[in-house]
């Protein structure tokens, strides 16, 4: 079963003019996006081939832009923030140069980019038959929730906007991984841990070094 994550980055830059020396500041917390990508996809010397990560970038100058990382297809990507930021930079450059921005554009193996917003992507996942789980500290403990065909929703340091939460109200199951406010990438690690213990996912013996 594929695990999918949708992360809304409210201020993250949508231009390839990324300053690799200042991911938190001038890039609108691109550092947080990179950490979430790393923690969603990478194990120690392995990669999770059963995971897909979407980041909706909503910062200037061309919002929204969605970047998709497909674990089973990734090649030559390392888990460190700078390396991931370089691949995001390549994807945004590919997006800028593309004529058809409404369809997924492959930038490098396993990394795709497209013009689609948060609500439209969620609705697309619902039409695919996926179940939407909104990670929120006031939700039901994830250990008590049956997880099937999951798409997990996360906000950045700002969180989801009021209009986003209103949109999700009748579409998502609100689940909690902690009674405390955690960093989004830590929430991803906990979700993976819960599902790993349940044996939910693809072959755990898959090795990233084989790709």
Three state DSSP letters for the chain: CCEEEEEEECCCCCCCCCCCCCCCCCCCCHHHHHHHHHHHHEECCEECCCEEEEEEECCCCCCCEEEEEECCCCCCCCCCHHHHHHHHHHHHHHHHHCCCCCCCEEEECCEEEECCCHHHHHHHHHHCCCEEEEEEEEEEEHHHCCCCCEEEEEECCCCCCHHHHHHHCCCEEEEECCCCCCCHHHHHHHHHHHHHHHCCCCCCCCCHHHC
- State yes or no: 154 annotated in a binding site: no
- State yes or no: 178 annotated in a binding site: yes
- State yes or no: 187 annotated in a binding site: yes
- State yes or no: 201 annotated in a binding site: no
- State yes or no: 181 annotated in a binding site: yes
- State yes or no: 55 annotated in a binding site: no
- State yes or no: 143 annotated in a binding site: no
Pull the structure tokens for residue 30: 């691109």
136's CB contacts (< 8 A; 6+ apart) are: 174, 175, 176
- State yes or no: 180 annotated in a binding site: yes
Annotated binding site: 135, 155, 177-182, 187
Annotated binding site for S-adenosyl-L-methionine: 135, 155, 177-182, 187
């Amino acid at each position: 079963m594929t695990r999918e994550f949708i992360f809304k980055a409210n201020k993250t830059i949508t231009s390839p003019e990324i300053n690799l020396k200042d991911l938190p500041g001038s890039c609108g917390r691109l550092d947080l996006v990179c950490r979430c990508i790393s923690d969603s996809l990478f194990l120690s010397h392995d990669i999770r081939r059963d995971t897909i990560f979407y980041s909706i970038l909503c910062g200037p100058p061309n919002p929204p832009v969605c970047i998709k990382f497909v674990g089973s297809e990734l090649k030559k990507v390392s888990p460190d923030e700078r390396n991931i930021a370089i691949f995001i930079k390549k994807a945004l450059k590919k997006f800028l140069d593309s004529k058809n921005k409404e369809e997924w554009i492959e930038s490098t193996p396993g990394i795709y980019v497209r013009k689609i917003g948060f609500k439209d992507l969620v609705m697309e996942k619902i039409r695919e038959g996926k179940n939407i789980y909104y990670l929120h500290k006031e939700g039901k403990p994830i250990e008590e929730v049956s997880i099937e065909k999951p798409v997990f929703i996360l906000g950045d340091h700002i969180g989801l906007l009021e209009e986003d939460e209103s949109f999700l109200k009748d579409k998502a199951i609100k689940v909690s991984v902690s009674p405390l406010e955690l960093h989004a990438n830590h929430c991803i690690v906990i979700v993976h841990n819960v599902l790993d213990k349940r044996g939910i996912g693809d072959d755990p013996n898959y090795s990233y070094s084989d790709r």
